[in-house]
Structure 1
Amino acid sequence: MMADSTEAAPALKEVFNRERLRHIAKETSAVWPRFDGKRFLKLATAGLDDLGIMQRMRQTAVSLHETLPHDFPEALPILKELAPRVGHSFAAITLSEFVALYGQKHFDLSLEALKLFTCFGSSEFAIRHFLVADFDRTIAAMRDWAEDENEHVRRLASEGSRPRLPWSFQLKNLVADPSPTGPILERLKTDASLYVRKSVANHLNDVGKDHPDLLVERVSGWDLGDKDTAWIVRHALRTLIKKGDSRALALIGSTGKAQIRVEAFAVEPASIKIGERITTRAKLTSTSETAQRLVIDYAIHYPKKNGISRKVFKLKETELLPNGECELAISQTVKDLTTRKHNAGFHRVELMVNGEAVAESGFDLVIPA
């Protein structure tokens, strides 16, 4: 694993910083000279420093609404001209947000706009509002989009209908019954675009969180001889694989319960401070007389104020020959993330082989007061 950069990346919310908002104001004025750029910037930058990225995205959309014609069909052509001029794919999502907020009464116009805008900045968040408002009409349109020649539109068909899309609300009806999106996923399972295939895999992984049997049954019938489809299946099953689901492991070629001896397993150093690195090392020896396909992971148990949070990390997939040996090592930096805040204390680490814990070690994390 490569060393981490010492220079902190800018916060994601800075996609909508003052410079970007000035750019949007300038480009909107270029396509619609009556645009009040000063008012837009006053509205769009109000309390900006205290807002997260999604709040900034929505505030930008609201600010556009306040400074464009309030009649949605009149404002829409301006936004369509603006779309290729925004110059940043995430910043352009604010155009789709505009449609979600103000286009509900103009279904056909809105879906046509979302199809266009997704080519500049994904409409995956906005389309969900239409799935809630009129599921049957929207999912029918998305099934058509799965046939589109543009990969961004095809991806929207899968990504926008994910039951548990991150950074958005769950689609409760699809969490309960994911079958309506089946035709979309069937159409896209051999898509030529990796961008689309990643979405299909993530969509299926969502399905597996609530319906593991359905997921396994669905992908078991797919042609795993097709390398692109096989890639989707492997990534779609990742949550079940981390849980040690024997059916999922079998689908990716695991040979069942591992016949091995753990010669060594350790996490070094034994004590670290936040921001420092740990290295996890393992040595395995086969006790089988035949070759084995092994899926090797490790799980860290993070102490929380109210219990333990366990996260599984990928280590390696390998074929271990009879009486063969396998040595593994991986390093990672233990640092706070937006999705994970660390607490001091002992962090137990398990070595997982084909879904089964076979050894454990750990490290102490010291966080100075």
Structure 2
Amino acid sequence: MPEPLKNLLHQALVADMADRIAAQAPAFDRDRFAALATRGLDALELMERAALIRDALFATLPGDFPQAAAILKASLPASGRRGLSGWMLLPVNQFIAARGPDHFELGLDLLKALTPHFTAEYGIRPFIHRGQQRALAIISAWVSDPDRHVRRLASEGTRPRLPWAMRLPQLVKDPAPILPIVTALVDDPEDYVRRSVANSLNDIAKDHPDLVAAFIAGHIEAASEERRRLLKHASRTLLKNGHAQALANFGFGAAASLACDLRLRNAKVIFGEGLDFQIRVTNVGDTAQSLMIDYAIHHMKSDGSLSPKVFKFKTIALAPGQSQSIERRHAMRPITTRRYYPGEHRIAILINGAEIASERFLLVMPSSDPG
């Protein structure tokens, strides 16, 4: 069983953190910091532990933010010297997010210095929320930074709907101010950065699908293989939703003149096992077709209604009269992001965004009665 995430912040890490700060600031009360940062630590979850350590920083670093920022920056690794790095910097992020916006340029500069040693996209979001135009004027300059982590921070930190982070409602409503950032990074030499750009565009697509489809159309002609992969990843929500322009961007037209036979090998699925199914797709038209095949599992909810979740299946090309059979097992087992309920579910086959076949199946929870 994997180690719980909360254990990434532990007492030994706090002691090490105290030593690394004290090495750069002899007046820092490392013992008081360690005592405050570990009081009740073991009973807390990850973000609660980070907040406890952040509060210990509040209590032991100077109340004057510029002085505190100077200590924290000096405590980062440099020239082979050990310093604050990795998960130690999660509570530092929280410290800067809370105190930094009152010292705008200084706070953002500290996050820029921090990000090569740990992600800082959560820390910059309060700055954007406080003063979007001012923050983006600074962050936009990072797209040409020689450090890939800084360039990625420019993209990742400005995502309108970054998971597990403060939402940026102004950018959800109008993402135009961050389009120059993603445009500047669309051909970044690092896949690490390009994937962040794709995720930012995918965020935008959830609220402005036509805008992103048009952006993709404007950047796909003569695109390199790397850029094409980025644009397709950025289009994943649009493609799953069958957005016509997004499908056309990648050569998928409206599904037509197709026959699809869907067969379930087990219409009754025991939870913990899987649904085995096969499809046979035939092009009954007189022109070749490129087909993006997905499937949706319509899960039963607690109120008895069904909620679909789309999964990628396969992309194929069929000549006129050609058929292809495809098999798949879809696992139905415990996951942290979904609660399963017994009862009738549905599987639907989607071709180029359109539902073309479906069947119902029964999900059964195993009995806890050994008899």
Settle same-fold status: TM greater than 0.5: yes
Equivalent runs, 1:329-340 vs 2, <5 Å: 329-340=327-338
**Aligned partner of 2:106 among 103, 106, 109:** 109
CA contact (8 A) 1:259 1:287 kept: yes
Instruction: Name the structure 1 match of 2:131.
Output: 134
1:275-318 per-residue CA deviation (whole Å, 9 max, x = no partner) reads 33343432222223332111111111121223332211111122
- Unaligned 5+ runs, structure 2: none
Whole-Å Cα distance in 1 between the matches of residues 311 and 231 of structure 2?
A: 18
CA contact (8 A) 1:298 1:350 kept: yes
Which amino acid is 1:160 matched to? G
Q: CA RMSD in A?
A: 2.3
Which amino acid is 2:219 matched to? W
Instruction: Name the structure 2 match of 1:345.
Output: 343
1:244-303 per-residue CA deviation (whole Å, 9 max, x = no partner) reads 111111111213214322233326472212x33343432222223332111111111121
Whole-Å Cα distance in 2 between the matches of residues 197 and 42 of structure 1?
A: 42
Instruction: Name the structure 2 match of 1:149.
Output: 146
Whole-Å Cα distance in 2 between the matches of residues 280 and 102 of structure 1?
A: 55
Gap change, CA 1:67 and 1:261, over 3 Å in 2: same
Instruction: Say which is worse superposed, 61-70 or 313-322, in terms of deviation.
Output: 61-70
Which amino acid is 2:120 matched to? S
1:80-119 per-residue CA deviation (whole Å, 9 max, x = no partner) reads 2433346764542332222111222211211111111111
**Aligned partner of 1:188 among 185, 198, 201:** 185
Instruction: Name the structure 1 match of 2:69.
Output: 76
1:334-362 per-residue CA deviation (whole Å, 9 max, x = no partner) reads 33333222222222111111111122233
Whole-Å Cα distance in 1 between the matches of residues 277 and 62 of structure 2?
A: 59
Equivalent runs, 1:174-253 vs 2, <5 Å: 174-226=171-223, 227-253=225-251
Give the match's secondary structure for 1:146: helix
**Aligned partner of 1:45 among 34, 38, 54:** 38
Gap change, CA 1:55 and 1:329, over 3 Å in 2: farther
CA contact (8 A) 1:83 1:92 kept: no
Give the match's secondary structure for 1:288: coil
Instruction: Name the structure 2 match of 1:260.
Output: 258
Whole-Å Cα distance in 1 between the matches of residues 324 and 88 of structure 2?
A: 46
Which amino acid is 1:236 matched to? A
Residue 152 of structure 1: CA displacement?
A: 0.9
Gap change, CA 1:255 and 1:109, over 3 Å in 2: same
Instruction: Name the structure 1 match of 2:276.
Output: 279
Whole-Å Cα distance in 1 between the matches of residues 76 and 332 of structure 2?
A: 40
1:52-92 per-residue CA deviation (whole Å, 9 max, x = no partner) reads 33333233222222222332222223322433346764542
CA contact (8 A) 2:202 2:236 kept: yes
In the alignment, structure 1 residue 360 sits paired with structure 2 residue 353: no
Instruction: Name the structure 1 match of 2:52.
Output: 59
Q: State TM-score, norm by structure 2.
A: 0.89
Gap change, CA 1:301 and 1:43, over 3 Å in 2: farther
Gap change, CA 1:310 and 1:27, over 3 Å in 2: same
Which amino acid is 1:136 matched to? Q
Gap change, CA 1:41 and 1:311, over 3 Å in 2: farther
Whole-Å Cα distance in 2 between the matches of residues 241 and 328 of structure 1?
A: 20
In the alignment, structure 1 residue 289 sits paired with structure 2 residue 286: yes
Gap change, CA 1:49 and 1:261, over 3 Å in 2: farther
Give the match's secondary structure for 2:76: helix
Instruction: Name the structure 2 match of 1:3.
Output: none
CA contact (8 A) 1:297 1:312 kept: yes
Gap change, CA 1:87 and 1:302, over 3 Å in 2: farther
Whole-Å Cα distance in 2 between the matches of residues 197 and 258 of structure 1?
A: 34
CA contact (8 A) 2:294 2:311 kept: yes
Give the match's secondary structure for 2:261: strand
Q: State TM-score, norm by structure 1.
A: 0.89
1:152-172 per-residue CA deviation (whole Å, 9 max, x = no partner) reads 111111111111111112111
Residue 140 of structure 1: CA displacement?
A: 0.5
Whole-Å Cα distance in 1 between the matches of residues 367 and 28 of structure 2?
A: 52
Identity %: 37
CA contact (8 A) 2:296 2:309 kept: yes
Which amino acid is 1:315 matched to? F
Bigger-Rg structure (1/2): 2
Give the match's secondary structure for 2:337: coil
Instruction: Name the structure 2 match of 1:169.
Output: 166
Residue 144 of structure 1: CA displacement?
A: 0.5
Residue 33 of structure 1: CA displacement?
A: 4.1
